[in-house]
């Protein structure tokens, strides 16, 4: 296994930073590796912490009167200069748990009232998003959206169109549009299963978050 001999912080910003790693490869040769991270300093990197934490939350929301549609956002993303279909998502604020962050983010991005459901931690714990370039991890929250779509809580840097997509529209999106990878995988599952949240039953009862059950 390789060794990290030194970490140098290259940038100092509020939301994303760049770190340079001096490494020793398994062959003994020295090398360099570069990491983007939500960490504000070296000590906050997972390399130093030694544990995974949720920087953000990704939210799988069923919507529509029969909960037979899936909530998507079409958002402009600066790194590719294009709009991309994604699940609602956002950063977890200090002191928030995953469910609180999910309720807040869905309200801010879509205007819907979100009711999260509890599931076994194997389905919800933080997972890495792009571990070849960043230590960012996101928790996953599932649930149901109600109400009218609106966008009055968007930040001025957010360009978002909200879509409550049925299966025909999901097929079109997967064929024709740019889609975030984690959302694409879940959308393929959505197409294949008439009960999209049925798989959550594998580990525990499906109960509303905060119900005490």
Provide the pLDDT for residue 135: 96
Provide the pLDDT for residue 206: 53
Percent of the chain scored above 90 by pLDDT?
78
Q: How confident is residue 123, by pLDDT bands cut at 50, 70 and 90?
A: very high
Question: What does the alpha-carbon distance between residue 101 and residue 92 come to, in Å, rounded to a whole number?
Answer: 6
* pLDDT tens column, 6-49: 999 999 999 999 999 999 999 999 999 999 999 999 999 999 99
* pLDDT tens column, 79-99: 999 999 999 999 999 889 999
Provide the pLDDT for residue 208: 56
If you ran DSSP here, which 8-state letter would residue 195 be given? S
Give exposure, 151-187, as e/b (b: 16+ Cβ within 10 Å). Answer: eeeeeeeeebebbbbeeeebeebeeeeebbebbbebb
CA-to-CA separations, 175 to 32, 168, 171, 178, 190, in angstroms, rounded: 38, 11, 6, 9, 15
pTM given for the model: 0.88
Higher pLDDT, 138 or 150: 138
On average, the pLDDT of the chain sits at 91
Please state the rounded mean pLDDT for residues 66-77: 96
Please state the rounded mean pLDDT for residues 169-182: 97
Pick from 149, 166, 159: which is nearest to 67 by CA?
166
Q: How confident is residue 156, by pLDDT bands cut at 50, 70 and 90?
A: low
Provide the pLDDT for residue 150: 81
E strands, 54-136, are: 56-63, 69-77, 82-86, 89-91, 113-118, 127-128
Mean pLDDT lowest among 83-92, 184-193, 194-203: 194-203
Provide the pLDDT for residue 201: 79
Determine which helix (DSSP H) or strand (DSSP E) holds 30, and give its type and residue range: strand 30-37
Strands 69-77 and 82-86: antiparallel
* pLDDT tens column, 43-58: 999 999 999 999 999 9
Please state the rounded mean pLDDT for residues 174-195: 95
Query: Is the pLDDT confidence value at 183 over 70?
Result: yes
Provide the pLDDT for residue 213: 44
Domains assigned to the chain: 3-49 (no CATH), 56-208 (3.90.79.10)
- Phi/psi region, residue 120 (left: phi>0; alpha: psi -120 to 50; beta: rest), is beta
């Amino acid at each position: 296994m390789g060794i990290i001999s030194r970490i140098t912080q290259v940038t100092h910003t509020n939301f994303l930073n760049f770190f340079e790693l001096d490494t020793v490869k398994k062959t003994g040769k020295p090398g360099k590796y570069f990491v983007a991270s939500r960490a504000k300093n070296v000590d906050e990197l997972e390399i130093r912490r030694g544990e995974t934490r949720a920087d953000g939350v990704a939210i799988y929301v069923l919507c529509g009167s029969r909960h037979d549609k899936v909530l998507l956002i079409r958002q402009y993303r600066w790194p590719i200069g294009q709009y991309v279909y994604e699940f609602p998502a956002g950063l977890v604020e200090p002191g928030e748990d995953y469910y609180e962050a999910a309720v807040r983010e869905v309200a801010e991005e879509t205007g819907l009232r979100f009711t999260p459901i509890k599931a076994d931690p194997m389905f919800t714990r933080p997972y890495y998003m792009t571990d070849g370039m960043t230590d960012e991890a996101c928790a996953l929250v599932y649930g149901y959206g109600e109400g009218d779509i609106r966008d009055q809580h968007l930040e001025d840097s957010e360009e978002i169109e909200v879509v409550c997509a049925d299966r025909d529209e999901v097929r079109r999106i997967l064929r024709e549009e740019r889609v975030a990878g984690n959302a694409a995988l879940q959308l393929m599952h959505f197409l294949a299963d008439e009960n999209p949240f049925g798989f959550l039953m594998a580990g525990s009862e499906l109960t509303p978050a905060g119900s005490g059950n």
